[in-house]
């Protein structure tokens, strides 16, 4: 499995784009989240939206789903197909009713399924989305009263959505065999709705060694060389795990 970040930035970062990721298997490409900057980032990589076979959503903030309107319109009217859309069951109705309905409703299109082949996935259940690509959605704390899901992928790779510091979860993941953690990282405290770098630096070394930092702000260059054994995920670089 390879991963390439369309962006590695926080919701308001201008340099690094929204934290959204392309996952590559031998035969398919899956996009995890499609934020406001995702279409522009794909353009910069010279990748077509039509190259994407499936979309997986973590939660319904604009930096994670704000590019879905363009994605849906172009798939339907430019490429003439319905891509797979994987969404945790508790998010499906809210994704349409509170986020996409206003822009996507047309005379002949009035539901999420008019644009996507919608596949509802269950929290805490490992599900093979594509051959050799299985996820376990885990509800993780972010904004009060807004559900957000992080993903354990192929049992060994954890991708946090926007996550309040949860060291017990990270320990549990490693005890289960997780080798790599892509973790959101707010560079400056306090960490009200995100985990901070300061908090991550309190973790035991064996956990820090597995952590790659993403969802950072535009001050990231000031912190390079000051994250210990933890590394920054770089925008547009392709990694193999």
Helix or strand or coil: residue 205?
helix
Instruction: Read off the pLDDT of residues 114-166 as tens digits, 9 standing for 90 and up.
Output: 999 999 999 999 999 999 999 999 999 999 999 999 999 999 999 999 999 99
CA distance 127 to 233: 26
Could you identify the residue written with the tokens 């390079």? Answer: 224
Domain hosting 35: range is: 2-240
Under 8 Å between Cβ of 132 and 153: no
Query: pLDDT tens string for the chain (241 positions)?
Result: 999 999 999 999 999 999 999 999 999 999 999 999 999 999 999 999 999 999 999 999 999 999 999 999 999 999 999 999 999 999 999 999 999 999 999 988 999 999 999 999 999 999 999 999 999 999 999 999 999 999 999 999 999 999 999 999 999 999 999 999 999 999 999 989 999 999 999 999 999 999 999 999 999 999 999 999 999 999 999 999 9
| Bridge pairing between strands 2-7 and 20-24 | antiparallel
The total domain count for the chain is: 1
Q: Sign of dihedral through CA atoms 160, 63, 199, 233? A: positive
The CATH number covering residue 118 comes to: 3.60.15.10
pTM over 0.85: yes
Helix or strand or coil: residue 61?
coil
Q: Return the HEC string of 86-126.
A: EEEHHHHHHHHHHHHHHHHCECCECCHHHCCEEEEECCCCC
Work out the burial of residue 185: count CB atoms within 10 Å of its CB; fewer than 13 is exposed, 13-18 middle, 19 or more buried.
Answer: buried
Task: Give backbone dihedrals phi and psi of 221, rounded to 5 degrees, phi first.
Answer: -55, -30
Q: Return the HEC string of 128-177.
A: EEECCEEEEEEECCCCCCCCCEEEEECCCEEECCCCCCCHHHHHHHHHCC
């Amino acid at each position: 499995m390879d991963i390439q970040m369309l962006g590695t930035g926080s919701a308001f970062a201008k340099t690094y784009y929204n934290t959204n990721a392309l996952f590559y298997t031998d035969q398919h490409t899956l996009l995890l989240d499609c934020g406001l900057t995702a279409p522009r980032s794909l353009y910069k990589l010279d990748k077509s939206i039509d190259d994407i076979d499936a979309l997986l959503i973590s939660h319904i903030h604009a930096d994670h789903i704000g590019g879905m309107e363009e994605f849906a319109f172009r798939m339907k009217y430019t490429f003439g197909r319905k891509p797979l859309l994987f969404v945790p069951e508790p998010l499906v109705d809210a994704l349409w009713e509170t986020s996409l309905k206003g822009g996507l409703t047309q005379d002949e299109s009035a539901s999420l399924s008019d644009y996507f082949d919608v596949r509802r996935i269950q929290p805490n259940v490992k599900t093979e989305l594509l051959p050799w690509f299985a996820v376990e959605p885990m509800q993780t704390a972010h904004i009060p009263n807004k559900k957000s899901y992080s993903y354990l992928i192929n049992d060994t790779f954890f991708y946090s959505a926007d996550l309040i510091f949860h060291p017990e979860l990270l320990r549990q993941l490693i005890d289960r065999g997780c080798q790599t953690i892509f973790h959101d990282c707010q560079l400056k405290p306090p960490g009200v709705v995100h985990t901070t770098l300061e908090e991550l630096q309190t973790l035991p070394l064996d956990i820090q060694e597995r952590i790659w930092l993403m969802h950072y702000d535009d001050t990231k260059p000031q912190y390079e060389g000051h994250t210990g054994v933890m590394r920054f995920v770089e925008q547009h670089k392709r990694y193999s795990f």
